[in-house]
Structure 1
Amino acid sequence: MSGTARQSYKLFIANLPWTIGQKELLSYFSSFGHVANASVVFDKSIGFSKGYGFVTFSGRDGFMGASNKNRHFIEGRVLNVQPANS
């Protein structure tokens, strides 16, 4: 299948509490489907979360389920969840 673009199931997650790490992000989004990768972006100079991250699902179902949910809450905060730019 050369020349065919592979579908990406990656979400950009913003407004994360600073206490959330990769493990918690993976745990939360696993309820929608198999998560291939979850990462939180950290400020290397101070070691704290920048408040956003990425979740990549293995398949379309998990991606669509998480994308279509109206509101996501982690530790009382409403997350901003949207498809990541390729």
Structure 2
Amino acid sequence: MSAARNTYKLFVGNLPWTIGQRELQSYFSNFGHVSNASVVFDKQLGLSKGYGFVTFSNRDGFNSASNKNTHSIEGRVLSVQPANS
């Protein structure tokens, strides 16, 4: 079994620009243990690009977050789908 098969990683799009790594991890930890959360930033501007990735340490958290119909942070509906590792 390869390590990639055990990654429970979600792509999270349409993030408010005010959301950072800590807020992203905090929100998704409601579904299970988050082993990593990252927001992608524009290196030159230092601003959020509006998307990020959340990795769960187990399948339960990943499935729980994946199966929720609507995710929203600060009133903005997020685009959540399994990431292509």
Q: TM-score, normalised by structure 2?
A: 0.95
Which 4+ residue blocks in structure 1 deviate beyond 2 angstroms?
A: none
Q: Which has the higher helix share?
A: 2
Aligned-residue sequence identity (percent) comes to 77
Bigger radius of gyration among the two: 1
Q: Structure 2: which amino acid aligns with 1:53?
A: G
Instruction: Measure the CA separation in 1 of the matches of 2:72 and 2:54.
Output: 15
1:75 Cα offset (Å): 0.3
Q: How many residues align?
A: 83
Q: TM-score, normalised by structure 1?
A: 0.94
Cα deviation digits, residues 60-81 of structure 1 (max 9, x gap): 0000000000000100000000
Instruction: Measure the CA separation in 1 of the matches of 2:10 and 2:76.
Output: 17
1:82 Cα offset (Å): 0.2
1:8 Cα offset (Å): 1.5
Structure 1 unaligned segments of length 5 or more: list them: none
Instruction: Measure the CA separation in 1 of the matches of 2:53 and 2:45.
Output: 20
Structure 2 unaligned segments of length 5 or more: list them: none
Instruction: Measure the CA separation in 2 of the matches of 1:46 and 1:56.
Output: 26
Instruction: Measure the CA separation in 2 of the matches of 1:66 and 1:24.
Output: 16
1:7 Cα offset (Å): 1.9
For 1:10, what is the secondary structure of its paired residue?
strand
Q: Structure 2: which amino acid aligns with 1:7?
A: N
